[in-house]
Amino acid sequence: MAEKRYLLTPGPTPVPPEVLAELARPVIHHRERDFRDIYERCLLRLRDVYRTRNDVLMYTTSGTGAFESAVANLTSPGDRQLVLSAGNFGERWAAMVKAFGADLVHLRLDWGETPDADDLRAALSDTDGVRVVYLTHSETSTGVVADVQALAAVAREAGAVVVVDAVSSLGAVPLETDAWGIDVVVSGSQKALMCPPGIAFASVSAAALEAASRAASPRYVMDWERTRKAQAKLDAPFTPAVSIVRALNVSLGLLLEEGLEAAFDRHARLGRACREGAKAMGLELFSPDEERSAVVTAIRPPDGVDATHIVEGLRERFGITIANGQGELKGKIFRIGHIGWFDVFDITTALAAVELVLTDAGAEIERGVAVTRALEAWAEHTPV
């Protein structure tokens, strides 16, 4: 029998069968009416998920490509820009801003820290003329979900254009693009939106477009103004990944049918179930033990066990893919994702398998408590 596989990482994430079936439909032409109808619906649904009236610009690229669209459209060499980082993806903003020749002010927190609005306020008052502030909503490398509402408010007070990486948070935890005054939100298809990778987005406020009109960095495919004009006519500027756009249209429909508030509640409960299960097993959490930690749970292995042993054990013995730590955290934490098409039995599967691998590695674990505690925690409803 073919081995059953479980994709339990924070991205790419599992995709519902309706979405997979949509991928298998014959290719259609992107200038054809059939596609334009799908494209229009998909762009409108994205606005609903983003909670914005701004244009959400769609690109055939990875989430990092959507990051780059922001940097390329907002940067002239020498511009002062601030990056607040506390993990791998925040540091990616910094590397990219440097690659585009900006004068980088890097407010670098340790990996795993939760950014504080006061720290950002202090950094901005120490430095004149910061034009753009880059933030990370969900730092997938550490499991920390930041209070971007508070951070964005501080950045706006300072007069900066606010850019937020919501690649792993969009659709999983509350994000109010317009109500929180976020100029640019970048995200991707392959996380909580329950679609394969290949499409990524940037929502753009009037202020962001205005800043882009003055930015000197060269760009062509990812030029926001070109994309905005083309989307207004439902005429994709370059051949999009039509199969993935179709799939995304279906997956966004599923998400909106569930309801965003229901999805946020489900993710909060998944996170809680995962944390409570891990703690019941005697493990220490690396990601914060709070309701906001609804995207990915980062866990420290018991003393003497390398996280790589756990990740490889799950993969080799059970066909289960979870994530190792990234960069400096490799081997020191393992990460169980729970965004998108997840329910509590995905969590119990992960916990049960971790329990087996750790027990076989000699860890003292009371058998069965993790799964039981996860199911209990999942059942508790708390308002998000």
Which spans of this chain sit near its own copies (rule: CB under 8 A)? Answer: 5, 7, 9, 11-15, 20-21, 23-30, 32-34, 60-65, 67-68, 71-72, 95-96, 99-101, 188, 190, 196-198, 217-221, 223, 238-244, 315, 321
Backbone angles phi, psi at 318, to 5 degrees: -125, 0
Q: How far is the CB of 39 from its own copies (least distance, A)?
A: 13
Q: How far is the CB of 149 from its own copies (least distance, A)?
A: 27
34/258 with CB nearer its own copies: 34
Q: How far is the CB of 146 from its own copies (least distance, A)?
A: 22
Interhelix angle 242-258/260-280, nearest 10 degrees: 80
| DSSP codes, 88-142 | HHHHHHHHHHHHTT-EEEEEEPPTTPPP-HHHHHHHHHHSS---EEEEESEETTT
Q: Which amino acid is at 185?
A: V
Q: How far is the CB of 7 from its own copies (least distance, A)?
A: 6
Backbone angles phi, psi at 16, to 5 degrees: -60, 155
Neighbours of 221 (CB within 10 A): 14
- Residues 241 and 246: their CA atoms lie apart, in Å, by 9
78/304 with CB nearer its own copies: 78
221/260 with CB nearer its own copies: 221
Q: How far is the CB of 67 from its own copies (least distance, A)?
A: 8
98/300 with CB nearer its own copies: 98
Question: Which residue blocks in 233-343 are alpha helix, DSSP H?
Answer: 242-258, 260-280, 307-318
Which region holds residue 181: left if phi is over 0, alpha if psi is between -120 and 50, else beta? left
149/243 with CB nearer its own copies: 243
12/174 with CB nearer its own copies: 12
Give the chain's radius of gyration (CA, Å).
21
Q: How far is the CB of 236 from its own copies (least distance, A)?
A: 9
